[in-house]
Chain A
Amino acid sequence: MHIRKYDIDYGRRKLLQNTAMGAGAGVLMPYGMAMAQDTDVQKAWPDELWSVEAQTKGKFKPGDMITKDNVEDIKHLLDDSAYLQIKEEGREIRIKAPERDISKMFNAGYYEATMNNLKPGNEAKLDSETGNVVTQSGKPYGGGLPFPNPKTGQETWANLAMSWGRADANCYAIQQWDFNGDGKLEFRYDFQWVELQMQGRLDGKAYPGHENEIRRQSVYFASSQDVRGTAFLSNWPYDQRKIPELYGYLPQFRRVRQFPANQRFEPLIPGSTWFLTDPWGAGDPYLTWGNYKIIERKPMLGAWNGNVNIDRENWEPVEQASNNKFWETEYEMTPECIVVECEPTAFPRSPISKKRVYVDTRNSQVCAAVRYDKQGKLWANFEMAFAQFKKGDQMVPGWNGKDPAWSWTYVMIYDHQSKRQSRTHNAERGTGIEGRFAADQDWLYETYCTQGAIQALGTV
C-alpha cells in the first residue's frame, strides 16, 4: 500500500491529532479494525511511519548501527534513556526491519484470546466504581489483551499489568549481572521467576480457590551460593487498588518474613538496579498509580521484536565489546508508540515522581519504562526486549508445546544517576534451575506459589 496522496509528515500530524482527541491507534484506519481483518496490520499506518529512512530523512536504514557519533540524527526516535546510554556510555544499537505480522508478536493462545476480545460483546471495560478490568457483565475478564486498542493511559497500563508474561503460567530461568558505574561486575545471580495467573486466564476460568487473585508470583534464588534457597512470594489481589503481599524466606533462619509496601521501591536483591515496581513496565497494580496521561503517540524505535538468541549457548546475548554493561541489541520501528505517564498516587513516600512507558500499539507491550526521581530527574529505565523464540530452523515450543514460544529475551535496567546496570536474560537454564514455557500449572503452584512451597525450596 503506497499512500502518495499524503505528504511525508501526514502520519505524525494525524498521530498528534489522535492523541489530542483521545482516539485509539491507527492513522489510515482504526487499528482494532485492521487487527480484526488480517495479521498483517500495515494498512493501519502509512509507509512513512514504518520506515526509519523516512523518519530520518534517509540518514538511517535497517542494518545500520546507532552509535554516539550519529545518535543526534535519530534522537527523536529514541526514548530519553536510550539516547543518553548511547551518548554517554557508548551503547550501540542495530536497526532491524519492522515486523508487520502481529501474530508473531504474541503467544499464540494469548493472540487468539485477544482477537476474541475484539468481537462485539466481548470487550472488557474498567469498572465504573472500582476501576478494575471487568467484562461487560461486570465479571473478572478472561485472557488476552483486555484493551487491544487502548484509548487511555489507564487502559494501556491495564494491558501491561493484568497478564505480565501473556500466558497462564510462566517459569523463567533468569541470569543477572550487576555492574557498578565503572563496569565492574559486583553481583551475579541465577534465579527462577514464576508467574501463575489466577484470573485473566486463557480458558476464562479462575484457578480453583483463587478467584480473588489475579496472579501469584515467586522468585527463587539458586545462585550465588550465599543466597541459594532464598525465595519471595507475591500474592496479587484481583482488585488492583490493593498492594500485593510480599513474603520472603531465608533458609538460614528457616523463617518467612513479610516485607513492607515500600519494598516496591527498594531492590529485591542487593546490587540490583530494579525494584518490584519496575518489571514489565507495570510492576505494581495499575490502580495504585494514577494521573494517567497519554502524552504522545509517535513512530519510534524499540526492542519490540527481535533479539532472539536461541541459537547461542544458554540463549545468552552477546556482550557489547566496547562496554560490557550492555548486551548487543537491535531495535525496530513501530509505526505508533503510545507514551504514557503516571504517578504513584497510592504511595505517598515513593521516591519516584512519575513513570513514563513506551508501549508498542501493535501488541500493547512495553520496551522502555522510565522512572523519574522526586525532583523530576531521569532515574532508571527498565528496558525489555521481546521475540518469538524462533530463529532459522530452530524453535522453542511455547505454552501448548507446539507453537513457538513468545516471551521476553533480555532486560537491562540502567540507573542514570549511579551509572549502574543490571543486565539479565531469559535463559534456557541456570544453576539448578531451568526455564519452562509449558510447565504443569499445578506443579508450579505447589512448588513455587505458596508460603510452604518457598520454605520447601529453601531446604533443598
Chain B
Amino acid sequence: MDSFRFRMSKWLMDRRAWVAGFFVATTVAFAAGIPGVEIRTIFSDLLPADDPFVQVFKQHPNFGNPLNVMVMVKRTDGEDIYNEQTLQKVWDLTKNLDLIPGVYHERLISITTEKVTYAEATPYGVEMRPVMDDSVPTAAEQLRDIERRVERSPSASGYLVSPDHTATLINVAFHEHLLEYGQVWREVRKLTQAAEDDAHEIYLAGQPMLTGWVYKLQEQTYEIFGVTLLLLVLALAFYMRNVTGVLVPIICSAVAAVWGFGLVGWIGSPIEPLLMIVPLLLVARTFSHSVQFTERFYEILGHVDSKRQSAEITMGVMMAPSVLGIITDALGIMFIGIAPLPAMQRFALFCGWWAICIIPTGVILISVLLSYLPTPKNVDDIVGKGEEKGIHRLQRGLLTQIANLVQGRTARMTTVVSVILSAAAIFFAFQIKIGNPVEGSNLLWPESDYNTAVRAINGHFPGVNSLEIILDSKDDDDMQLRTASTADAYRVSKKIQHIAENAEPIPARTTISFSDYLERGNRLLSGGHPKWLPMDPEDKAVTGARVGVTFGQNPINFAGVSDFNFQDSTVSLFYRDNKQETIDAALATARKAVEAVGEDHPGFKVLLASGTIALQEASNQVVVRYHWLILACLAAAILVIATFAYRSIVAAFIVLIPVTLANFFLTAAMYFLGVGLDINSVMVAVLGVGVGIDYGIYLLSRIVEEYSAQDKDLGKTLTASITTTGKAIMFTAFVMLIGILPWYFLSDLKFMADMGLLLSAVMLINMFLALIVLPLLVWLIKPKFIERDDLIVGENVDLSHWTGARRVDDDSPSVPGATVTSS
C-alpha cells in the first residue's frame, strides 16, 4: 500500500495534531470574514449581462423602470374615489411614502402630487394647475370637480385613476443604489395596512415589493432550514445511534460552511437570498459523504483495532471516490457561472468554493476527528454484522427485487419499459415552457398577496408589464436639436404605437410615448381643440411643443418616456402578463413595427428593447442559451473524470446515461407540475447531476469489486452490489428527502416549495435510475473494465499491511487480496 493516496494519508495522520491545528486556525481566519457576509438582491445582477435587451436596459435604466412600487387604493363599497375619505388616504399615503429611504422623490406620482396637472385655456392664457390643491377638498362640489380635473389630466385619466373611477394608483420609484428591499417592503406594508378599512383595499405590486416578499419569507425560510437541519441530524442519530457518528458530520459541515461564508465575507461578494437553499443542500451532501466515510471507518475499525490507523486507512481508501464525487458537485455548481448573470457567477464562486471545501473537511478533517473521538459501542450494528432486522431486512428484500429486474430474462422487459419511459420523459421534457408561466410571479403562490395585487392592478390599469422600444439618439451632445423632439422621432413613435395597438393576436393594452405628451401640449397650447392634437411634421413644431410642455418642469417628470436631455425616448407597450406567449407576441409586434419604421434613422436608431417583458425574455433566453451548454460542460467533465477513474470511456457513458436521463425525467416532472424552466431550475438540474453521478460512481465501483469477488458472475455481482451499495444510496436519498421534502409543505415561498419538490424528485429519480438503469446497462453491455482490479475508485484494500503483526477478528480479511468494501 504505497500508493500516493496512502502515503499522503500516512503523512497527514502522523501529524494529525498539526493538521487539527491547521483546521482550527483556518476556520478561525475564515470565521473572521463572516461579519462581512451580505445576503441581498442586486436586481441588475440577476440579468444576463451580455443579452442585448439587458444592455439596452442598462443604457436606459429609466425606461420601463422595474424598480417601481405600485400602490393601488381600491374603493370596495361601490363608491368612487372622489370622496374626502379616499382622497385623504391617498394624500397621506403619498406624503408618507415619500419618507421611505431610497425613494426617488421626483418620481413619486399620485393624483395628490403637484406634478399631476390639468390644464384649462382661459381668456388670460393657459392655466396649468395641480389636480389637487393644497388640501383635500371636503365639499361635495369640490370633490366632483376633482373628477372633472382628472378627466382633463392626460397623466391621471386611465393611468392614475381607473376608467371606472373606483381605484387610484400611487407610483413610487426608487434609486437602485439606495434601495433596501426589506425596509421598503416593511414600511410600505405598514403604511398601507394602516390605511385599509372596510371600504378600502390596498394592493401592492412591483419588483421592490416582490423582492421584499422574498426577503420577508427568507425569515420563514431560515426557520424551515432549522427544521431541515434538525431532521437531518435526527435521521443521522437514528441511523448511527452514537455521539461520534452524529458529531462528525455536523463538525465537518460546519467547518465547510464557515470556510464557504468566510470567503464571500472577506471578498465582499453579496449572496442572492433566493439561492440560499443550495448551501443547505451542500450541508446535506456533506452529511451524506460523512456518513459513508464514517461507516467505512467503522468497518475498518472492526478489523484494525487502532482508531488512528483506521482513520489513516479510511482516508486512503475513500480519498478517490470522495474527491471525485465532490469535484463533480463543485464543477456542476461552478459551471452555473458560465451563464453571464453576475449574481449567479458570484453564487457559483461561493457554493463552488464551499463544495471544494468539503474535500479537506470530508476527507482529512473527518479522519482526524474520527481518530480522536471515542469509539462508539454499536460499531457492529452499524457495519451490519449479525442478523438484519426491520427496515434493513425490508430494504434488502426490495433491493433484491430491483436486482432481479436488471438481469436474466427480466432485463429485456426492464429495458423495454426503461426505453419507453425514457422516450416519454424526453418528449415531455421538450414540452416544458421556458420562463414565467403565470400572471404575476412564480416565486410566490397564485393566491399570495403579491400575485393577487398584480391581477387587481392589471384589472384596473394598463398593467405592470411593459415592452419598451427605444429611439436611441446618435448625438446626445447636440444642444440645438434634441432628438426626442424631432419630427422623425415623433412620426416613428406614433407609427410604432399604431402598429402595437392593432397587432394580432395580442394587441398592446395601451401605449404611451413622449410624442403623446407633446401632442397633448400642442393641443392645449393651441387652444384646446382636439384638431390640434397632431403636430406639423416639422422639427420646429415638435421642438416648440417640447419647450411648451417641459418648460417650468423637471425633465425627470418625463423620465418614463424621455431621458433627461430629451435626446433618447421610448415607446412603451403595455401587456397583461409576461408569460412566454405574451412575450413572443409582443416581441413579434415590436419587430414588425421596427421593420415598418426602419431601424436606422438620421438622428437615432430604433432599439429593441427594455421593460419587464424584454428583461423576462432576456432571463428566458439565458436559460435557452446556457441550459444545455452547462449540462454539456458537466457531462464532458464527467466523461473525462469517469474515463480517468475507470480507465474506460464505456464506463464513463454507463455513469453518464442514467444521469442524463434523470435530467429529462426531472424536466418532464416540471412540465407536469407546471413549473417553468428558468435559471433556478437549471441549478437544480445541475445539482441533480452531481447527486446522480455520486450514486453512479459508488455503485459502479462496487460492481467492479464484486465482479472478481463473485467469481465473475455478473448476475451475482449486480445483486451483491445493489443490495449493499444500493442500500447506502437508498439511505442517502431518503436522508436528503427527509430534509428537503418539508420545504414543499412549510414554505409560503412557492419557489422554495417548488425547489423542495424538484430536489426531492431529482433525488428519487436519480436513485431509481442509478439502481435500475446503471446495472441494466452493465448487464446489457457487459463491459471489460469491470474485470480490472487496479482502479483508483476501487474501494478494496488489503488490510494485511496493517493487521499482519497484530490480532484481528477471525473474519477479518488478513490475507493479501482480501478486501473490505464500502456499503
CB of A318 to closest CB in B, whole Å? 22
Q: A255 to chain B: which residues have CB within 8 Å?
A: 125-126, 525
Say yes or no: A252-B117 contact (C-beta < 8 A), given A186-B565, A348-B134: no
Decide: B479 and A187 in contact? CB cutoff 8 A: yes
| Interface assignment of B502: CB less than 8 Å from any CB of chain A | no
| B269 contacts partner chain A, Cβ-Cβ < 8 Å | no
C-alpha gap A230/B560 in the complex (Å): 26
Q: In whole angstroms, what is the CA distance A277 to B551 when docked?
A: 16
- Which chain A residues lie closer than 8 Å to B124 at the CB level? 256, 258
A188 touches B479 (CB 8 A): yes
Closest to A276 in B: B552
How far apart are B672's CB and chain A's nearest CB, in angstroms?
Answer: 50
Answer yes or no: A323 CB below 8 A from chain B CBs. Answer: no
Q: Is A260 touching B480 in the complex (CB atoms < 8 A)?
A: no
- Contact flag A226-B565 (CB < 8 Å), given A259-B128, A374-B99: no
A345 CB → nearest B CB, Å: 11
Determine if A18 is an interface residue (Cβ-Cβ < 8 Å). no
Residues of chain A within 8 A of B526, CB atoms compared: 253
Which residues does chain B contribute within 8 Å of A263, judged by CB atoms? 552
Q: A250-B544, A349-B134 are in contact. Are A271 and B128 (CB under 8 A)?
A: no
- A279 at the binding interface (Cβ < 8 Å): no
Chain B residues within an 8 Å CB radius of A120 = none
Contact for B552 among A186, A259, A373, A451, CB less than 8 A = A259
Bound complex: CA A263 to CA B115 (Å)? 9
A:341-384 near B, CB below 8 Å: 347-349, 351, 373-375
The answer on a CB contact under 8 Å between B479 and A269 is no
Q: Report yes or no: B553 in contact with A270, Cβ–Cβ below 8 A.
A: yes
The yes or no answer to A248 lying at the interface (CB within 8 A) is: yes
Is B291 in contact with chain A by the CB < 8 A criterion? no
Check if A267 is an interface residue, CB within 8 A of chain B: yes
Instruction: Give a binary string over B458-488; 1 marks a CB under 8 Å from any A CB, 0 the rest.
Output: 0000000000000000000101111000000
Whether A349 and B548, one on each chain, are in contact in the complex, defined by CB atoms closer than 8 angstroms, is: no
What's the least CB distance linking A252 to chain B, in Å?
3
User: Once bound together, how far apart are the Cα atoms of A271 and B562, in whole Å?
Assistant: 13
CB contact between A256 and one of B125, B544, B555 (< 8 Å): that residue: B125
- Taking a contact as CB atoms under 8 Å apart, the answer to whether A349 and B113 are in contact is yes
Contact B552 A266 (CB under 8 A): yes
Q: Which residues of A are found within 8 Å of B553, using beta-carbon distances?
A: 266-267, 270
For the complex formed, measure the closest distance between the CB of A353 and the CB atoms of chain B, giving whole angstroms: 10
Q: Is the CB of B126 within 8 A of A258?
A: yes
Taking CB atoms, residues of chain B closer than 8 Å to A266 are 552-554, 557
Q: Are A248 and B479 in contact (CB under 8 A)?
A: no
B 547-583 contacts with A by CB, 8 A = 547-548, 550-555, 557, 564-566
B98 partner residues in chain A, CB cutoff 8 A: 351, 374-375
Complex Cα–Cα for A267 and B98 (A): 19
* Alpha-carbon gap, A313 to B117, bound state (A): 44
**A59: interface (CB < 8 Å):** no
- Chain A's nearest CB lies how many Å from the CB of B806? 74
A444 at the interface (CB under 8 A from B): no
A225 CB-CB contact with B under 8 Å = yes
A224 and B125 within 8 A (CB): no
Q: Shortest distance in angstroms between A323's beta carbon and chain B's nearest beta carbon?
A: 19
Docked CA distance A268–B117 (Å): 16
**In the assembled complex, which residues on chain B have CB atoms less than 8 Å from the CB atom of A270?**
550-551, 553-555, 566
A262 and B114 CA atoms in complex are apart in Å by 6
Task: Evaluate contact between B564 and A258: CB separation under 8 angstroms.
Answer: no
Which of A248, A256, A265, A348 has a CB less than 8 Å from the CB of B135? A348
Asked if A257 and B547 make an inter-chain contact with CB atoms under 8 angstroms apart, the answer reads: no
What residues on B are CB-neighbors of A232 within 8 Å? 552
Q: Which residue of A lies closest to B480 (CB)?
A: A225
Of B105, B540, B546, chain A has the most CB atoms within 10 Å of the CB of B105
Mask for A19-46, Cβ within 8 A of B = 1, else 0? 0000000000000000000000000000
Contacts of B380 in A (CB 8 A): none
**Contact across chains for B548 and A250 when beta carbons are under 8 A apart:** yes
- Closest chain B residue to A227 by CB distance? B547
Contact present for B564 and A180 (CB under 8 Å): yes
| Smallest CB gap from B125: residue in A | A256
| B130 at the binding interface (Cβ < 8 Å) | yes
| A257 to B527 Cα, complex, angstroms | 11
| A379 nearest CB neighbor, chain B only | B105
Q: B529-546 interface mask toward A, CB cutoff 8 Å, 1 = contact, 0 = none?
A: 000000000001101111
Chain B residues with CB under 8 Å of A251's CB are 544
Q: Does B129 contact A (CB under 8 A)?
A: yes
B551 touches A258 (CB 8 A): no
Given A186-B565, A257-B525, A258-B128: A267 and B554 within 8 A (CB)?
yes
How far does the alpha carbon of A267 sit from the alpha carbon of B550 in the complex, in Å? Answer: 10
Q: Which residues of A contact B134 (CB under 8 A)?
A: 261, 347-349
* Chain A contacts for B113, CB-based, 8 A: 349
Q: Do residues A226 and B128 form an inter-chain contact, with CB atoms below 8 A?
A: no
Q: Which residue of chain A lies nearest to B485 when distances are taken between CB atoms in the complex? A: A226
A451 to B540, CA, bound (A): 24
Known: A180-B564, A260-B114, A262-B130. A230 touches B105 (CB 8 A): no
Q: Is the CB of A351 within 8 A of B126?
A: no
Is the pair B551, A269 in contact by a Cβ cutoff of 8 Å? yes
| Distance of A361 Cα from B548 Cα, bound (Å) | 42
Which residues of chain B are within 8 angstroms of A252 by Cβ–Cβ distance? 525, 540-541, 543-545, 547-548
- Please list the residues of chain B having a beta carbon within 8 angstroms of any beta carbon in chain A: 95, 98-99, 101, 103, 105-106, 112-115, 117, 122, 124-130, 134-135, 477, 479-482, 525-526, 540-541, 543-548, 550-555, 557, 564-566
The contact sample of 15 A-B pairs, CB cut-off 8 A, is: A185-B477, A232-B552, A252-B525, A258-B122, A258-B128, A259-B128, A263-B552, A266-B557, A268-B551, A268-B552, A270-B551, A270-B566, A349-B113, A351-B106, A374-B98
Given A226-B546, A257-B125, 9 additional A-B pairs, CB 8 A: A252-B541, A260-B128, A266-B552, A266-B553, A268-B552, A271-B564, A349-B114, A375-B103, A451-B125
A-B residue pairs, 3 tightest by C-beta = A252-B544, A262-B114, A256-B125
